[in-house]
Amino acid sequence: MADAESARTRLLDVALRTFREKGYTATTVDDLCRAACVTKGAFFHHFDSKEAAALAAVEHWNTRTGALFEAAPYWQVEDPRARLLAYLDFRAARVRGELPEFTCLLGTLVQETFASHPALQAACGAGIEAHAQTLVPTIEAARARYAPKADWSAESLARHIQAVLQGGFVLAKALNDPRAALEAIAHLKRYVEGLLPVRRNEARNNASLATRFPTRHPPSKRR
Amino acid sequence: MADAESARTRLLDVALRTFREKGYTATTVDDLCRAACVTKGAFFHHFDSKEAAALAAVEHWNTRTGALFEAAPYWQVEDPRARLLAYLDFRAARVRGELPEFTCLLGTLVQETFASHPALQAACGAGIEAHAQTLVPTIEAARARYAPKADWSAESLARHIQAVLQGGFVLAKALNDPRAALEAIAHLKRYVEGLLPVRRNEARNNASLATRFPTRHPPSKRR
DNA sequence: GACACCATACCAACCAATCGGTATGTTTAT
DNA sequence: ATAAACATACCGATTGGTTGGTATGGTGTC
């Protein structure tokens, strides 16, 4: 008793951790129940099936990370190019602690489920796509200002950034070294800098002044 | 009867396909036996355990892909910069057919096994690292010729290339669209081109002359 | 304000199916 | 004959999922 909804939330939180550590199939319902101090009956009271729980976990992940990124400091950066680079710094700063703590649930899940669990695959894809979309206006603005004639689209670059991040996580797991992820982000940052060259007369590198970006954007909450 | 060693090889070939499609845990020993038309007794005659079979499959994968890349046409390109770009073209050209056919076994396996099966994780890491190493002399030579003062190392770029490829596969699975992988490779190619700028007086773009690269390299077999 | 009513949250015990693995053969090439 | 290469039948453990039940707190009725 005590806090209603607590068992469900506890299960979802535990699911984020466990799925990232062991993957979807290797994570058993009992694993989740044990870790959340919940009986199996409670589990199947809240979720129709293991797959439904994973879907709920993906949704949980999306709201969790959505809030994290909405409140992140890079939104305070006015210049879109600098803001995009600050986003990458933010991603790099999150590479800390153990691998299952900073890697991406969606990328991990989709690797094993893309063929056998279409619903999960679609949910992971939608989640990644949605996150990529949050970058598009920034990239669009940066492109207009710094590389108006570029032959790449903002959507394409936004997706590519996600790809590099996912790939960095894979390599970090393979080499058992978080630095592999940091290295990938560093190369990615260099790429973005090269895509958006700073013309000499336009080097208005502000950094700390907090002005809201005019177009559609998450509200820049102070943290 | 018939061909000795055939059952083992058949199991390994089937394992490459199945592990890539369903992942390690979701692939059962019976799955492999059924697909290879082999009984369970035969399976455990050739492999001590499921994990041992997966390790053998990784080794099988390494020799298979090792041979594929050794014989690949990009080795025929003399200029190291052009050879590196030809490698990326080769990787892009392999993105065809269904996802489980062109994605990477090592990246798929390591995502679920990095925490629970250290032996598999290490084998996948070693395999990726070994493949990255085949690019290092080429990158080194390209760097010496085109960007001698660059602040990145050949090893770092070789690893980054693998990261982008892995990330492209993840995104292709998530968005259920191989074009995501191609997009990532296209961005990666642009990055490499930018890292190794062609000076105007050095634009000696040969293409077809087959000269062995001087340092340690796989023999450039004609195909 | 007492009491029936009921939905939600949770629990312990259980189930058929399937898992990786084994024991004990039989076949086949040398 | 001998050993490797299979095949059959089986095992205990675990899997996702179900069962029938209880505890609790809110709500309508008189």
Is any atom of nucleic acid chain D found less than 7 Å from the CB of residue A50? yes
Residue range B82-133, pLDDT digits in tens: 999 999 999 999 999 999 999 999 999 999 999 999 999 999 999 999 999 9
Residue B154 CA to residue B169 CA, distance in Å, equals 23
User: Between B108, B191, B194, which is nearest A111 by CB?
Assistant: B108
What's chain B's average pLDDT?
A: 89
The DSSP secondary structure of B111-140, one letter per residue, reads HHHTTT-HHHHHHHHHHHHHHHHTTHHHHH
Evaluate whether A87 touches A157 at the Cβ level (below 8 Å).
Answer: no
The DSSP secondary structure of B39-98, one letter per residue, reads -HHHHHHH-SSHHHHHHHHHHHHHHHHHHHHHT-GGGG--SHHHHHHHHHHHHHHT--SS
pTM of the full predicted structure? 0.88
Assign residue B121 a region (left: φ > 0; alpha: ψ between -120 and 50; beta: otherwise): alpha
What confidence score (pLDDT) does residue B5 get?
A: 61
Residue range A70-100, pLDDT digits in tens: 999 999 999 999 999 999 999 999 999 999 9
B31 by DSSP, 3-state: which?
helix
Instruction: Provide the pLDDT confidence category of residue A7 given band limits of 50, 70 and 90.
Output: confident
Min distance A196 CA to chain B CA atoms (Å): 12
Cα separation values, B4 from A20, A161, B9, B44, B198, Å: 41, 48, 10, 16, 54
> Phi and psi for B122 in degrees, rounded to 5?
-65, -40
Contacts of B194 in chain A (CB under 8 A): 191, 194
Evaluate whether A87 touches A142 at the Cβ level (below 8 Å).
Answer: no
Which chain C positions have some atom within 7 A of a protein CB? 8-14, 18-25, 27-29
- If one counts every other C-beta atom within 10 angstroms of the C-beta of residue A74, the result is 18
Assign residue B222 a region (left: φ > 0; alpha: ψ between -120 and 50; beta: otherwise): beta
With a cut of 60, say whether residue A110 has pLDDT above it.
yes
Question: Residue A105 carries which DSSP code?
Answer: H
Query: Which candidate, B123, B131, B125, B128, places its Cα nearest to that of B51?
Result: B123
Residue range A29-86, pLDDT digits in tens: 999 999 988 888 889 999 999 999 999 999 999 999 999 999 999 999 999 999 999 9
Q: What angle do CA B183, B188, B189 make, to 5 degrees?
A: 100
CB contact (8 A) between residue B110 and residue A26: no
Could you tell me which chain B residue has the CA closest to the CA of A160?
B184
